[in-house]
Structure 1
Amino acid sequence: MTISRSTLREVPPGLEDLYVELAAPPRLVAHLRLVHDVAVQLLTGFAERWPELAVDAEAVRFGAATHDLGKVRHPEELSTPGSLHEPAGERLLVELGYPPSAARFAGSHGSWTRPGISTEELLVSLADKVWKNSRITGLEDLVGARITAATGQQPWEVFLHLDDLLGATGAGADRRLAHQAAHPLAG
């Protein structure tokens, strides 16, 4: 089954217009939509399995749909590794009038071990990895610890359920990667 824009969950209101306003490259927009879609899948799974975990779902959705916007200022990072887009994206969103609490996702999605990181920021980071079926033990451990603290469940039990959810979500990575690659780097 191929992915089309109509099969992806819609990004938060106003963000499609923002992508156009910033002349975001098609591959970047495809990536933001895909990570947003995975974030919504994770939010649904978390709400069903761990309703005690307090999460601002709207913040996660916004963060997932904007986390890499700094790549409009550092387009070289669309095809090569780099982290210059992280602080640039956070600054860009603040310059555009978004509150720092919303812009923070652009700056933190690659540095989930920094002090004071929120559960919402961890979930955006997780979605940004799981969309391509990348599993990062340290990140998953941090998320698992938040779930354990909120639910009182045993860490091993949380691990088993989190592993199942991430494995099922990551299983669609080949289709997502092909979808993203079908979009040009420049637009």
Structure 2
Amino acid sequence: MTTADPLQRALDDPGDPPLRPLPPQVAELLRDLAAPPRLAAHLRAVHDVAHQLVTWVEREYPALQLDAEALLFGAATHDIGKAVHLAELSGPGSAHESAGRELLLARGVEPRLARFAATHADWNGPDVRLEDLLVSVADKVWKGKRAREPEDLVVARLAAHSGRTSWEEFLSFDDLLMSIASRADGRLAFQAAHPVHRTT
């Protein structure tokens, strides 16, 4: 695969603001699937925002046990099912959620890592953890959208950990999300610069 390949460009293009690269395992999976470049660009944007969320949580709540590896892998693969359900890349649909989890499991990905493909749009499941909620938030705020329900659930979990009021936790988390959302235009432009159609 050459650097002229649209998928490889989506994986390598630094972006503005600069976006972190996807984990090598995820980049290789996208190449194996001949994934649409737009999907790779989207996963990079959400993964980068998830990185910012992880950095903040680890700094502000050092005693909180957070599975950062799983969270970041989950952000990097949350929409992987759209490589199978291509119509959902540019339109509505939820078939990609269970399909993504099954695709990852079939390729030997651990269940603790594969689950995010299914949980990123399910905020109230019995086994939803803070990591799942943070991936859900990242999947909204990368484009400047705010989603009250998963944000409120994150705030409640942080307050339960810290002992501070939910209002105090909300103010702190809201400041972070407003800062991330303020750079949404660059991430949206990065995603739009990469084609929807997969390469062969």
Normalised to the residue count of structure 2, the TM-score between the two structures is 0.89
Give a deviation string over 1:41-91, Cα, whole Å, max 9, x none. Answer: 111112222223221111111000000000011000011011110000000
Partner of 2:68: 57
User: C-alpha separation between the residues in 2 aligned to 1:129 and 1:6?
Assistant: 17
Answer yes or no: is 1:28 the counterpart of 2:39.
yes
How many corresponding residue pairs?
186
Identity value in percent: 53
Q: Does the aligned pair in 1 maintain the 2:47–2:75 contact within 8 Å?
A: yes
Answer yes or no: is 1:175 the counterpart of 2:186.
yes
Unaligned runs of 5+ in 2: 1-12
Partner of 1:101: 112
Partner of 2:58: 47
Answer yes or no: is 1:71 the counterpart of 2:71.
no
User: C-alpha separation between the residues in 1 aligned to 2:153 and 2:140?
Assistant: 14
Q: Does the aligned pair in 2 maintain the 1:11–1:61 contact within 8 Å?
A: no
Greater mean alpha carbon deviation, residues 146-155 or residues 43-52: 43-52
Partner of 2:6: none
1:34 CA displacement: 0.6
User: C-alpha separation between the residues in 1 aligned to 2:68 and 2:29?
Assistant: 20
- Select which of 142, 154, 159 maps to 2:153: 142
Answer yes or no: is 1:160 the counterpart of 2:164.
no
Q: Does the aligned pair in 1 maintain the 2:120–2:136 contact within 8 Å?
A: yes
User: C-alpha separation between the residues in 2 aligned to 1:26 and 1:119?
Assistant: 29
Query: Structure 1 stretches (4+) deviating beyond 4 angstroms?
Result: none
Which amino acid in 1 is paired with 2:82?
K
User: C-alpha separation between the residues in 1 aligned to 2:43 and 2:66?
Assistant: 20
Greater mean alpha carbon deviation, residues 46-55 or residues 146-155: 46-55
Unaligned runs of 5+ in 1: none
User: C-alpha separation between the residues in 2 aligned to 1:3 and 1:12?
Assistant: 15
Which amino acid in 2 is paired with 1:114?
G
1:3 CA displacement: 5.5
1:116 CA displacement: 1.6
* SS of residue paired to 1:88: helix
Aligned-residue CA RMSD (Å): 1.6
Partner of 1:110: 121
1:163 CA displacement: 0.5
User: C-alpha separation between the residues in 2 aligned to 1:132 and 1:108?
Assistant: 19
Which amino acid in 1 is paired with 2:24?
P
User: C-alpha separation between the residues in 1 aligned to 2:56 and 2:46?
Assistant: 15
User: C-alpha separation between the residues in 2 aligned to 1:84 and 1:5?
Assistant: 31
Give a deviation string over 1:83-111, Cα, whole Å, max 9, x none. Answer: 11000000000011111111100011011
User: C-alpha separation between the residues in 2 aligned to 1:99 and 1:43?
Assistant: 21
1:12 CA displacement: 2.1
Normalised to the residue count of structure 1, the TM-score between the two structures is 0.95
